[in-house]
């Protein structure tokens, strides 16, 4: 009886451990893995077993927004099963990654600020605490995203950080309730005009929409004040996968940046 009571509080009860089988996955691809379900000291009834994609996103305005873990994809694996004491069960799974899944690595190097993981949830009958397991997922860009990141690097922009924002972009076809910003320090050629350049990828089955957000330095703001202020300038491009090599993206991006950098009046 004592073992059953302790198992209800998570001590000596069943446990889960997920293993991701893919070395890396891309937006729109399939994540493959398996969950190892290990029985505890007593038999227990499983109400449900599943895996969920979680993203840590910034919510709210201000200099210190709240960070929340937001689920954006899930797969149900099992339910209403009896796990015998000491049993070991492997449950394979496949999960389709949404096309707008954030990128967490580039050529195997993690992007600072990214937290996207796979959470394994085991719901047990008559328990106070249900076991969970969270594993980070290496998500590489699709080739079109790689091409734009490479173009920015060739233009002299240097990666600073990345973050996820729980908002919607005006004028963009966005499926998820949040979007990713990959932030770059400006190249020497644009250091006097821009404070930062943020890039957002909204991938789709046939193309990816690129949103560039140039934080332009302004001399006088409409609300008053001199210097030290920036104005957000947005640009949107569409990269078709089938026509990826037909556009020289370095001069196209540079041309847009030079146009945006031009002064247009007292407030710009």
Q: Give pLDDT tens digits along the chain (268 positions).
A: 423 433 343 445 788 899 999 888 999 999 999 999 888 878 888 888 999 999 999 998 767 789 999 999 999 998 888 888 888 889 999 999 999 999 999 988 999 999 999 999 888 875 534 557 789 999 999 999 999 999 999 999 999 999 999 999 888 889 999 999 999 999 999 999 999 999 999 999 999 999 999 999 886 655 555 455 788 899 999 999 999 989 999 999 999 999 999 876 655 5
- The residue behind tokens 């993690």 is 110
**Contact by Cβ (8 Å): 48, 121:** yes
DSSP state of 227: E
- The CA distance from 30 to 42, in Å, is 35
Alpha-carbon distance of 146 to 175, in angstroms, equals: 21
The pair of three-digit structure tokens given for residue 188, joined into one six-digit string: 């020497």
Q: Using CA atoms, how far apart are residues 105 and 111, in angstroms rounded to an integer?
A: 6
Residues in contact with 154: Cβ distance below 8 Å, sequence separation at least 6, in sequence order = 250
Q: For position 248, what pLDDT does the model report?
A: 95
Contacts (Cβ under 8 Å, ≥6 apart) of 170: none
CB 160 within 8 Å of CB 182: no
pLDDT of residue 173: 86
CATH number for the 2-136 domain, one of 2.30.140.10, 3.30.390.30, 3.40.50.2300, 2.60.40.640?
2.60.40.640
- Within a 13 Å sphere around the CA of 173, how many CA atoms are in the beta-carbon half? 9
Residue ranges covered by each domain of the chain: 2-136, 143-261
Q: Are 33 and 17 in contact (CB under 8 A)?
A: no
pTM: 0.85
The helix/strand/coil state of 247 is coil
């Amino acid at each position: 009886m004592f073992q059953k009571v302790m198992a209800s509080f998570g001590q000596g009860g069943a446990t889960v451990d997920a293993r991701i089988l893919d070395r890396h996955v891309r937006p729109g691809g399939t994540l493959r893995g398996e969950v190892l379900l290990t029985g505890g000291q007593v038999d227990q009834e499983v109400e449900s077993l599943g895996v969920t994609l979680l993203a840590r996103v910034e919510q709210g305005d201000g200099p210190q927004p709240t960070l929340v873990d937001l689920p954006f994809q899930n797969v149900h694996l099992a339910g209403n099963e009896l796990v015998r004491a000491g049993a070991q069960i492997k449950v394979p799974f496949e999960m389709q990654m949404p096309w707008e899944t954030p990128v967490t690595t580039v050529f195997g190097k993690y992007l600072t600020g990214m937290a996207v993981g796979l959470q394994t949830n085991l719901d047990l009958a008559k328990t106070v605490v249900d076991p969970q397991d969270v594993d980070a997922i290496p998500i590489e860009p699709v080739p079109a995203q790689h091409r734009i990141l490479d173009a920015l690097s060739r233009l002299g922009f240097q990666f600073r950080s990345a973050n996820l924002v729980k908002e919607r972009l005006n004028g963009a076809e966005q499926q998820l309730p949040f979007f990713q910003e990959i932030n770059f320090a400006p190249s020497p050629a644009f250091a006097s005009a821009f404070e930062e350049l943020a890039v957002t990828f909204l991938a789709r089955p046939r193309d990816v929409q690129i949103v560039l957000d140039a934080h332009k330095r302004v001399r006088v703001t409409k609300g008053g004040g001199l210097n030290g202020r920036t104005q957000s300038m947005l640009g949107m491009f569409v990269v078709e996968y089938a026509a990826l090599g037909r556009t020289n993206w370095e001069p196209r991006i540079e041309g847009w940046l030079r146009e945006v950098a031009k002064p247009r009046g007292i407030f710009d």
